[in-house]
Amino acid sequence: MQISSLKLDAFEPTLYLQTLAALAAVDGVSPDETAFIQRQAAGLGVDLADALAAAPKPVAEMGAAASETTRRLIYRDCFMLAHADGVVSEEERVMLSSIQRDLRIAPETASAIEAWTDRLSVLLVEADSLFGS
């Protein structure tokens, strides 16, 4: 599901992309993480270079203004990004916790999003083996 396929209130693509980039940078940006961020920017129709060059805003700003659905989707994408290179570092885990708090997502909801994302990843790997990439 692409974030651009949903109607999201108070969604700020620049802040979203900056959050993904900051998460990726905490332990060194991998090619898989770069590709994930580029796909998200393209799906949103946003120039990634412009988004990353803009003055950064706090994630809590979006957490205060965005709908619950928007916040959950952002957390999902951050979690997916942290897993894009196959390893979630301690630094990424700490930042994910901070993003979860800033987005005002309850710990049990974050855990449910993470479990769902893990199951989805297994299914995507299985689909790739069945149908090719």
* Tens-digit pLDDT profile for residues 94-127: 999 999 999 999 999 999 999 999 898 889 889 9
C-alpha to C-alpha distances, 109 to 49, 57, 98, 100, 128, nearest whole angstrom:
32, 24, 14, 10, 28
pTM of the model: 0.82
Measured distance CA(17)–CA(113) in Å, rounded: 19
Is 76 in contact with 103 (CB distance < 8 Å)? Answer: no
Q: Is 77 exposed, middle or buried (0-12, 13-18, 19+ CB in 10 A)?
A: buried
pLDDT in tens, 50-79: 999 988 888 888 788 888 888 898 999 999
